[in-house]
């Protein structure tokens, strides 16, 4: 099936995939070629892509997934490919996001900081590290 993961800034993934697992708001769900049509909102988490015998993980915060028998399109508000990110880098992003959250003074800034923290936590999970130590 054709899989596309798109943010307002860029297309993070656009290729054939054997399977994709998406963190829907009602729970994680897997999509295979020929899947029944579906539209779901997305919660913060990790999209796992199985393509050509390899796994790829993308941290995501908010958005929608549209599934048809031939394709899956994810429109994400914020997403980041975990490829090339270490656990140390992911933790540094969490620490920075927490600092930003503590310094917020407006509701708008707090919402943005909370989304950055959610993305950083999803990224840490995507690189295979536990969130809580």
| Strand intervals (E) in 1-133 | 2-6, 11-16, 19-24, 27-31, 38-42, 45-51, 54-67, 71-81
Residue 132 forms part of a structural domain: no
pLDDT at 132 over 50: no
Q: How does pLDDT run across 48-59, given as a tens digit for each residue?
A: 999 988 999 999
Burial 99-111 (b: 16+ CB within 10 A, else e): ebeeeeeeeeeee
Please give the residue range of the domain that contains residue 64. Answer: 2-81
Q: Look at the block and give the residue holding tokens 């199985």.
A: 50
| Gap between the terminal Cα atoms of the chain | 38
Q: How far apart are CA 63 and CA 56, in angstroms?
A: 19
Same domain, 106 and 56: no
Same domain, 43 and 63: yes
pLDDT at 43 over 50: yes
Helix ranges (DSSP H) in 15-127: 87-102, 107-126
Residue 131 forms part of a structural domain: no
Same domain, 7 and 54: yes
Domain of residue 8, CATH code: 2.60.15.10
Same domain, 73 and 121: no
How large is the average pLDDT for residues 16-36? 96
pLDDT at 24 over 90: yes
Count of domains in the chain?
2
How large is the average pLDDT for residues 24-45? 95
Residue 13 forms part of a structural domain: yes
């Amino acid at each position: 099936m054709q899989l596309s993961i798109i943010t307002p800034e860029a297309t993070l993934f656009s290729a054939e995939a054997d399977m994709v697992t998406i963190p829907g708001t009602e729970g994680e769900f897997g999509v295979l070629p020929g899947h029944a049509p579906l539209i779901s909102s997305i919660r913060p988490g990790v999209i796992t892509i199985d393509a050509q015998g390899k796994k790829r993980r993308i941290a995501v915060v908010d958005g929608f997934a549209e599934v048809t028998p031939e394709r899956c399109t994810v429109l994400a508000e914020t997403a980041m490919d975990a490829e090339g990110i270490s656990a140390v880098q992911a933790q540094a992003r969490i620490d920075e996001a927490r600092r930003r959250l503590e310094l917020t003074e407006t509701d708008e800034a707090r919402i943005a900081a909370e989304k950055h923290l959610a993305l950083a936590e999803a990224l840490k999970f995507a690189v295979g590290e536990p969130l809580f130590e």
